[in-house]
Each structure stands twice: as C-alpha cells, then as structure tokens.
Structure 1
Amino acid sequence: MLNIGAGEFLLLGALALLIFGPDQLPKAAAQVGRVLRQLRTMADSAKNDLREGLGPEFKDFDVQDLNPKRFVQKHFWEAGDDEVEARRPASQLNGKRPPFDPEAT
C-alpha cells in the first residue's frame, strides 16, 4: 500500500518526535490510530449501505471492481486463454508485434 522504506520511516519518526515532543508523541499516535479506525468503520459502513441499496441482484458486487485498474485487470488480463486468443489481432498471433507507424500516433 505505502512504499515507505526503512530510512524514510526513520525520518518520519524523527520528524514526529521533533514536532510533537517525547511527551505528546504517544497521545498523537493514539489519536491517529482512533481516526484511522473511524475512517475504516465509515468506509465499511458505506460499502454495506451500497450493497444493501443495490439489492439482492448485486450480492456478489465488490466495491473494488469500481477501481479502473481493477476493472481492466479483471476483464482483460484474467480472461481465459481462449478469450485472449479470440481478442488478439491476427498480426499478433504469430508472436510478433505489428510495425510501428509514427504518423499514425
């Protein structure tokens, strides 16, 4: 989810220590934890409300399917081999890429 390395994590910790101080840092961390829990609860509640609002026809609906990246992966990359071959242009069936035309782009 977050691509934070060890050095970046230590830098963030040092900045938090400088900003909040050693006596206020535990209180700030607890408050951030509470806010994150509340946000997660709100998001889960919104998902459940959406599923209930859609009705029983969409009981298998996944909110992540609304993400464009996930949509493309689900509908184009996770297809069976037969479907992939059927959608592939004839020029790519032999494993070669079609010629590049700079005027066409």
Structure 2
Amino acid sequence: MSFLGLTFDKLLLIGLLAALLLGPERLPIYAKKLGELVRSLRRMTDGAKSRMRDEMGPEFDDIDWQQLDPRQYDPRRIIRDAWAEQPDRPTVKPAAPQAARMRAQALDTTRPAPFDSEAT
C-alpha cells in the first residue's frame, strides 16, 4: 500500500532518520505535534465534507468521486471520446466572390492603410 508514493520502507527510513536527528528527548514532542496535525487535518476535511453535504443536499452522495480523480485524466481518451461523440459537421459554403474581393483588398499592401480622422 502506498500513500503519496511513500512505501513502508520509506516511512521506516524517515522514522529512523527522525529518531537520529531529533534525539530521544525531542522525538516524543514532535511525534505528539505530528499526531495533532494529522487529527486537525482530518477534522478539517470531515468538516468540509459535512458542509458540502449540507449545501448540496442528497446530490452529494450521488457524485462519482472516482471519475473526478485527476489521476484518471487521459487526454488521448478524452479527445478520442470527443471525436466519437461529435455530430455531423455542417458543410462550409464557398465564399462569395464579393467576400473574396474584399479580403484581397484588405490584404493589399501596396495601398496606404485607411485613416479615420474621427477616431483620434
């Protein structure tokens, strides 16, 4: 079992290093502080869950939290699903000759740019 990538071996090594660095006189104090921190974090998360449940009502229990897990994010699957669900695309009509002329005039670099005296 792994929590945030920490296996039992790594946790044991961290505990051993903490015992050596802190010493036997300070280790119980820091262990107590760590326990209090974990308990306060658990209380905060439980409070946030209960507040969300109160505000959202019965829909809170219907949410599939596993689906919202960011580790489930796979951009290839999302794009593949989006392409599969995409409805038929409308056909694009060819541009009218007048629109094509206007576009060509807009791109003409030989003429000076239009100037609007009222815009300044």
Q: Residues 66 and 55 from structure 1, CA distance in 2 versus in 1: closer, same or farther, beyond 3 angstroms?
A: same
Q: In the alignment, is the contact (CA less than 8 A) between 1:47 and 1:63 conserved in 2?
A: no
Q: In the alignment, is the contact (CA less than 8 A) between 2:52 and 2:60 conserved in 1?
A: no
Q: Indicate which of 53, 76, 82 corresponds to 2:55.
A: 53
Residue 67 of structure 1 aligns with which residue?
Answer: 69
Q: Indicate which of 10, 13, 32 corresponds to 1:11.
A: 13
Residue 38 of structure 1 aligns with which residue?
Answer: 40
AA at the equivalent of 2:56: L
SS at match of 1:66: coil
TM value normalised by structure 2: 0.47
Inter-partner Cα distance in structure 1 for 2:73 and 2:57: 21
> What is the alpha-carbon root mean square deviation over aligned residues?
2.7
AA at the equivalent of 2:57: G
- Structure 1 or 2: more helix by fraction: 1
TM value normalised by structure 1: 0.53
Q: Residues 65 and 49 from structure 1, CA distance in 2 versus in 1: closer, same or farther, beyond 3 angstroms?
A: farther
Inter-partner Cα distance in structure 2 for 1:58 and 1:69: 21
Percentage identity across aligned positions? 41
AA at the equivalent of 2:24: P
Counting matched residue pairs gives 73
Q: Residues 42 and 18 from structure 1, CA distance in 2 versus in 1: closer, same or farther, beyond 3 angstroms?
A: same
Extract unaligned runs of 5+ from structure 2.
75-120
